[in-house]
Chain A
């Protein structure tokens, strides 16, 4: 049997999506790349400068400091999110009423804005009125309220606590979907085989939910590499500019110093780095499967 191919009909079916992608993804990206080769200012004006923004970027110690800080944040946060997300997913994947409630409650923070949650936690960490400080003091973990945002370490811890609260439910839901897609008779067979919880997790759940775990990891890494709101609202980049993230530094250049062209170049560099990291993760994933 011969199938008649009609390319134009296919294109017509795709056109709404193509139009949407062109207007809202492709065009901004092309515009961004173009901007990065100019000295455009937020106040208008500017001219073609070739690779000047890029050479500046590679010699900008503040940008690379921000980049390293973002990387550190990602490297600390991702295992916490994935480990906790996996543990929670294990806990809530059976469909019992109490577990469904736990699932919903854990997922709730995911649907509120990151800005709102950052503000909420900013006040919870406050040294005078913060309930979190109060709790730690009452539990005798701290002797007196801590000024969380005066030091880089404690500021990082505070942001990580707040972000974990905010997004751990997202990884949990993705991983839970992976666990729930494992046929229940495999678990019954494992029960008959006498597998302990640890053996079931290690030999059955982890390998069979691996795809969802890796997907959650990729999304979580991308999210962390793009961190902005939480630092903007909680640390303001301080103390002494030590908690600027990459995106925060891009924001500083584009909207505080009005240097849109330079900001665009930094954005392009960050985009390429994240694309490379994602490609690497996905390659590792497909190799791990083979």
Chain B
């Protein structure tokens, strides 16, 4: 095992920042109405000050340890590995973080920054409800008002999280526009922010949106990759051959990828393949370059630029855009993006339940489909690291209804 200093530490969280325009290559930028431009400047300044302030890092580190339960474990999925018959499959257990997904890493960090900026009201969108729950939790913890926009369709399919948000004191506003899913929730959250920008922080839940959000969210989620890189070196004695994570807007994936940017490690993002036909949410592997929700990236839109309908069984991946840093990793070939269908993901969901005693989120199940495939291709001498982004408690009603479980 070569454990030089650089090999231990991996790519620093602040490496590969966007350029002065908030872009990686042609992707990113700020495509928003003038009314919120000043708030983005203010947030960028507040973010830079926070990241330069040891007190901010100390506060986050304490919260990470005592409130979130970090570091999250790295778990060798032995029975899954044996069943697949290939590379060892390692799970980075973000499902064990407080509130049940990686979303809390970002929500707490942004809530601390919002407080530093003197904002008392937080507005957020949520798809699967995990970011809504994380936001409601962070707001309760810091005494901030939380307003969460959620599509009506998603409120139906992720009901347990709606209840949790309300219990935590958040106001949940149903969104009926469009298909009533994540894209529509973002639209209305951003419109609320535009109207209340002077006292409200927009706490976006993924590594998308106008600059500085994609960079801010990546830095707050980079802890996933930092921890897992060190854990792999300790436990496996080597870096993984591949890192696999699901991609909705891309926050858990960019968070686990980042530390491995400079390593000879394949980075594989898994998008929602939906029905396997025309209905999917594969923005990178099936979209084109356009503008959505404040940044330039790959978007599922028609030739006129109108955003098209997407589909995924997983509310958190059912989004026609993707964060701009992933667009850059895709365009430069540093990362690969592959689809997993609804049906394949349901099979992977069952397999993790039955072989490992872990109920994964439906989002996460997409990553497991491809992780199994890569493990098989690599053979027994390999190692695959999977971002186990969240637990599936929120999905039990949906799965039970499908399976006729009473």
Asked if A and B are interacting partners, one says: no
Interface residues in chain B, defined as those with a beta carbon under 8 Å from any beta carbon in chain A? none
